[in-house]
Amino acid sequence: MEFNILLAGAVGSDVIFACALIGALGLGAQWLAWRLQAPAIVLMSLAGLTVGPLWSLIFSEPLLNPSQTFGEVFRPIVSLAVAVILFEGGLVLKFENLRDAGAAVRRMVFLGGPLAWLLGAFAAHYAGGLDWASAVVFAGVMVVTGPTVIMPLLRQSKLSGKPAQFLKWEGIVNDPIGALFAVAAYEFIRVASQGQSVFGAGVWIIMAACFGIALGIAFGWIMAKVFREGWTPEYLKAPLILATIILCYAMAEMFEKEIGLVAVTAYGMTLGNSKLAGLTELQKFKEDIAVLLVSGVFVMLTADLTPETISRAINWNTLAFLFCMLFVVRPLSVWISTFGTLSRKEAILLGWIAPRGIVAVAVSGLFGSLLVDLSREGRFFFSGADQITPLAFAMVFTTVVMHGFTIGPLSRALGLSRKERPGVLVVGANTWSQEFAKALEETGIEVIIADSSYRRLRASREAGLDVFLGEVLSEDAELKLDHSRFSTVVALSTNDSYNALVCNQFAPEVGRHMVYQLSLNDGDENDDRGVSSNARGRTLIRRGRTYDSLVRDQYSGWTFARTKLSDKYTLKHFLDERSKADIVAEIRPDGSFMLIGPNREPRGGEGTTLISFAPEHKPEPPLDLIPETT
């Protein structure tokens, strides 16, 4: 206890220390989640709970108390963070993608969303014990399914086809919609609690929402015009976007409280659908900012909980609420809204999988605190307002853990997952890449050859290879190319700069260590005339082995070969026998594979298969079979 008093006296009121601790815990949890391949949302929450309520149980005072440390600016900080998160969600929501996502997703958004909101309100009130006002607001937030949680689950479960597309686009579209449900419900309650008529409250909410939407659209249109006409330099675009998000939010808040969330969501959707060149770079910047803000919000919200609030949330009402949400609300909303568009097995899987994520907790924490303030200032007392945040965390923990551990076994039991390991995406169709893909396919590795030219893909189609016709860098490919089918990307087009663009596009998704391209030239790869090494993928085969040299050798008779090593024929024997061969890949007995390149030498071992590119090999006959000569 003395240690805690000393520490609290030194840093407890220090805002700088609090900011440093929040940043270290948030980003540290994100990094640890990446290393362990665990849900980041769980580790971030555990980090906040450790320095908040758990620390106070041991030392009587929390190490981090955000509401006390930041005082009156705590809620504005959370509100602005949620605004940026919602803007980023709106930025990736394309109307054409919603059109192409299929009837099941559209019906789930326009019919299933309101249905889940209605059923969730009943569950929160009758099972969770919340008052009706808190239940309606909370249920609106619970419509959200987090795309940041969904995408790792899809890769983990190898789920493909319609179910994977359904979960992906439901998460993206529902991010802003669930928040808008909560905003509408809160505004109705806030206005009604001030003594205005229900009809007047409804009219005012509609007017305020229309103003927020119009303001967001205006900001989006103006910024698209500014960027398109070149009225601002490239280096100012991302900072300008961040500044205008805050300005848009502030202007909407001056008109009506919490309408700012509606305005920034409309702003993001307008800018995202503006067909603006260079939008990918802006999205990347916003994603980076969103990651930082999400980490901070999670740590602050969990650290701000008290042991008393958590203990009150651990009861039979919470268990009943979780049961209703998992086994009644979600299945019914999916089955009713998508009837006739999904098979029975798909409906069973999708009726179960609905992990809540970052937006759900961030928005729940914001509106929970707003309802608490409203009950203090208004004529009504909302008895369940302080339970919204603990219930949100309980929902997130339960769905992330249960759905994370069950999506794989359930999808396999229903026959909806791919049985093979994620394979390789080969970008660029030509004679060498086609033979390379055939060599991988013959060892059991799934390969997709992608190219924007129908003519270049013709030989690959005739060879029976799986092809994707389209530009992999386009937004269309994000929807139509099944990213769960590959975990490695090899750019083999004839344009080295294009290959570098492909590697940089896919590196954030599959990892920088899983994107490859051929060497730049026969000499130094850091040649000033080409793409710098830090902007390229990893080198395939070896330095100096260019596309031109590979094709020349191919036309002179070099071919791909598969060689299985054993205890009698080892890697050393292979290298001695075929010294000119280029080893391209190594497939190990467990089915995993590694592409060979600088600092990635083959390991060999019994049962390993080597894929090599070499001149035709004619093994010499044993000495006892060589005829004697005179």
DSSP state of 625: G
* Structure tokens, 204: 């005012």
Q: Establish if 447 belongs to a structural domain.
A: yes
pLDDT confidence of residue 629: 37
Q: Establish if 282 belongs to a structural domain.
A: yes
Gap between the Cα atoms of 604 and 75, Å rounded: 58
* Structure tokens, 23: 């940043």
pLDDT confidence of residue 623: 42
Q: Establish if 619 belongs to a structural domain.
A: no
pLDDT confidence of residue 12: 43
Q: Do 358 and 444 belong together in one domain?
A: no
Determine the structural domain holding residue 183 and report its residue range.
2-413
pLDDT reading at 143 higher than 60: yes
Residues making up the chain, counted from first to last:
630
Amino acid at 274: S
- Verdict on whether the full-model pTM lies above 0.75: no
pLDDT reading at 470 higher than 70: yes
236-267: per-residue pLDDT in tens?
Answer: 887 888 889 889 989 988 887 667 878 888 88
- Which residue has tokens 């229900």? 198
Least confident of 67-76, 193-202, 313-322, 466-475: 193-202
Q: Do 362 and 506 belong together in one domain?
A: no
pLDDT confidence of 326, banded at 50, 70, 90? very high
3-state secondary structure of 561: strand
Q: Do 337 and 430 belong together in one domain?
A: no
Ranges of beta strands (E only) in 261-383 are: none
pLDDT reading at 531 higher than 80: no
With pLDDT > 70 as the criterion, what percentage of the chain qualifies? Answer: 81
pLDDT confidence of residue 201: 65
216-227: per-residue pLDDT in tens?
Answer: 999 999 988 888
| Gyration radius of the chain over CA positions | 28
Q: Do 363 and 492 belong together in one domain?
A: no
Q: Do 217 and 324 belong together in one domain?
A: yes
Q: Do 430 and 409 belong together in one domain?
A: no
pLDDT reading at 42 higher than 80: no
* Structure tokens, 294: 């999400």
DSSP state of 622: P
Domains of the chain: total = 2
User: Among the three residues 343, 378, 413, which one is the final residue of a domain in this structure?
Assistant: 413
The mean pLDDT value for 5-21 works out to 64
Q: Do 352 and 437 belong together in one domain?
A: no
Q: Establish if 530 belongs to a structural domain.
A: yes
Q: Do 408 and 463 belong together in one domain?
A: no
The mean pLDDT value for 296-315 works out to 77
pLDDT confidence of residue 57: 84
User: Among the three residues 413, 434, 456, which one is the final residue of a domain in this structure?
Assistant: 413
pLDDT confidence of residue 93: 66
Q: Do 76 and 165 belong together in one domain?
A: yes
The answer to whether the CB of 425 falls within 8 A of the CB of 517 is no
User: Among the three residues 372, 393, 413, which one is the final residue of a domain in this structure?
Assistant: 413
pLDDT reading at 54 higher than 90: no
173-185: per-residue pLDDT in tens?
Answer: 776 677 778 777 8
CATH number at residue 509: 3.40.50.720
Least confident of 74-88, 278-292, 302-316: 278-292
Q: Establish if 623 belongs to a structural domain.
A: no
Q: Establish if 546 belongs to a structural domain.
A: yes
The mean pLDDT value for 163-171 works out to 76
The mean pLDDT value for 574-602 works out to 85
pLDDT confidence of residue 380: 62
CATH number at residue 78: 1.20.1530.20
pLDDT confidence of 303, banded at 50, 70, 90? confident
Q: Establish if 485 belongs to a structural domain.
A: yes
Q: Do 347 and 438 belong together in one domain?
A: no
pLDDT reading at 9 higher than 60: no
pLDDT reading at 62 higher than 80: yes
pLDDT reading at 364 higher than 90: no
pLDDT confidence of residue 448: 92
pLDDT reading at 486 higher than 80: yes
Q: What is the mean pLDDT of the chain?
A: 79
pLDDT confidence of residue 152: 62
Q: Do 395 and 431 belong together in one domain?
A: no
Q: Establish if 144 belongs to a structural domain.
A: yes
Q: Do 448 and 405 belong together in one domain?
A: no
pLDDT confidence of residue 97: 58
CA quadruple 172, 178, 179, 184: dihedral sign: positive
Give the C-alpha distances (Å, rounded to integers) separating 15 from 5, 58, 69, 75, 576.
Answer: 17, 23, 6, 15, 65
Least confident of 4-13, 52-61, 330-339, 529-538: 4-13
